[in-house]
Structure 1
Amino acid sequence: MAPACGYGQPASGKTAGDCASKAYQDTLVARYLDRGAHRISYLDPRWAQYCDSLIAACPNIAYAYQQKAMPLIKCGDYAKSMPLIDKAVALDETRYLAYRGFLKCIFTKDYTGAITDFQRVAKLKPNGREMDHTFAFFEGACELELGHYKLAEKAFAADMALQRGADGQGSIHFNTLWYAGVAAARLKQYAQAQAYLQQCLKAYPQHPEANYYLALNYQAQGQPALARQHLETAQRALIGGYRLNEDNIFYANYPEQITEYEVTQALKNDVGAGLAPAHR
């Protein structure tokens, strides 16, 4: 059951002061957000009222629009939230452009729009990150969903290079390895897909998606026993509560994320689905 979101009513009146002053803006943020909205639940209607009061006092604070949008995003009201995010981006592109790209990729499924945002912000913040991932990570996930598998492969290669760092010693996030494995499998590069997915499972053995897609990869190579083994591991992991370990999976499905349904169907069908994408 989705949470009941309270949107509140706009506050009236305007606080005097110099809205161009960062110090003045900070005092308003402290008043309306730090000592106001942030002391109550984001589901409380007063959250939006505090944000509206901040906007009424100083309409050029990007953070106010992002904070007003946040409960709406988590409740799935994208029609109301995304115009607020657009306003935040217009006021502070460097801070919020990657965040908007993330929302488009994970929440609204506007994959083309997300790629555009990440490519733009990469020029502003080379080697930047959003939600603990490189911009290339999200670009790759979007290309994967658009069926542009070579572009996805290229994006994940760039993501891995950034994670390894200049000395080449950095570790690769297990979800990068999972996505790179899916992209390789879609390109019928089964040995490479297997290598990526096995690396993912070395870091996180209960990763449901890595086990699921490795099973499909084994099936495509005519190894049904190994396929079933990994499907059963995926099923146990999901039943046990293991997930992608991404913060926002509580509010939206990540690209290629699976449920127990896909695993159960694959087991029933003897993994007959081959390498088709997981159905939602």
Structure 2
Amino acid sequence: MNKLTLIILSFIFMQCEGQKDSHTETAKEKELRQEGLIEKYVYNCAEKFNYNYQMQEWQNCLDEGIKVDSTVAYFWQQKAMPYFKARKYEVGMAYLDKAVFYKPERWLSYRAFIKCIFSKQYKEALKDFELCVQMDGYSYVQDHTYQFHIALCYLQLNEYKKAEAIFKTDIIAQEKQWGEAHFLDIFYYGISMYEQGMWEDAIFQFDKSLEQYPNFSDAKYYKAICLMRLEKYKESKTTMEAAKRDAQLGNTINEANEIYEPYPYQVRW
């Protein structure tokens, strides 16, 4: 075999090997492989540390996983999450953007929630939630509908009429589906009216919220203000005193993430 023939055969062999190595991984194969990486670098490494005081060790584990496969969206989300809880929003968002890039169907709604509740980027949150609605239709994130969060963003942008309309529509949808709406939706529906000086309408919604959560101090606080504005001073005083007692017992907005971030209109006594 002459030298030229040997070179040609070697080239053909390398091409065949390259085609073999670069064959397209099936979606199932990729899922199983990435699950194994998550098991190794998240569950059996990062989660052995407490990111509250071992942040570097936590991040090192995730970085090792990213060296193996930087397309695992969960690695990036897990890098981001502790920074949001530490209120380092810009640092966390850079990592979360990567998670959304690699797996938007899983992490876009989470990023929208973070922008709404944690980093208070309401206009940016609205953009993400609009995309979520396009992808998922009527759906949820962190136990509340996309519409709840969208209305909350408008409430925080002082677009009270728009917030009121969205809360109303979403409450009707929840009542049709489950028989009743979440007390927090009803509370914020009342807040949208409170901000427009619709004192009696707001009280009606706060009372509906209190039917589900009788010791809800925040609903009582804003109800007391409405009563004062209606010149019902005695009832206002009694309601405000009850609100304070309930607040001292911890009966406030009870969302899981409330320990990290106060929710809009949550009263700090």
Q: Report the TM-score when normalising by structure 2.
A: 0.86
Query: Where does residue 127 of structure 2 map in the other structure?
Result: 116
RMSD: 1.8
Query: Where does residue 83 of structure 1 map in the other structure?
Result: 94
- In the TM superposition, residue 19 of structure 1 has moved relative to its aligned partner by 10
Counterparts of 1:186-205 in structure 2 under 5 Å? Answer: 186-205=195-214
Deviations along 1:75-126, one digit per CA (max 9) or x if unpaired, are 1111210111111111111111111111111111111111111111011011
In structure 2, what residue type is equivalent to 1:130?
V
- In the TM superposition, residue 161 of structure 1 has moved relative to its aligned partner by 2.6
Query: Where does residue 152 of structure 1 map in the other structure?
Result: 163
1:140 to 151, 157, 168: 151
In structure 2, what residue type is equivalent to 1:172?
A
Runs of at least 4 residues off by over 6 Å:
17-20
Give the Cα–Cα distance (whole angstroms) in 2 for the partners of residues 158 and 28 of structure 1. 43
State the percentage of identical aligned residues: 31
* Contact 1:54 1:64 (C-alpha < 8 Å) held by counterparts: yes
2:174 to 163, 166, 172: 163
Query: Where does residue 9 of structure 2 map in the other structure?
Result: none
Give the Cα–Cα distance (whole angstroms) in 2 for the partners of residues 56 and 170 of structure 1. 49
Give the Cα–Cα distance (whole angstroms) in 2 for the partners of residues 60 and 38 of structure 1. 20
In structure 1, what residue type is equivalent to 2:31?
K
Number of residues of Structure 1 aligned to a counterpart in Structure 2? 243
1:128 aligns with 2:139: yes
Query: Where does residue 17 of structure 2 map in the other structure?
Result: none
Higher relative contact order (CA 8 A, sep 6+): 1
Q: Which moved more, 1:205-214 or 1:30-39?
A: 30-39
Which protein is bigger by CA-based radius of gyration? Answer: 2
Query: Where does residue 66 of structure 1 map in the other structure?
Result: 77
Unaligned runs of 5+ residues in structure 2 are: 1-21
1:223 aligns with 2:232: yes
Q: Which structure is higher in helix share? A: 2
Unaligned runs of 5+ residues in structure 1 are: 1-16, 261-280
Counterparts of 1:226-241 in structure 2 under 5 Å? Answer: 226-241=235-250
* Contact 1:129 1:135 (C-alpha < 8 Å) held by counterparts: yes
In structure 2, what residue type is equivalent to 1:236?
R
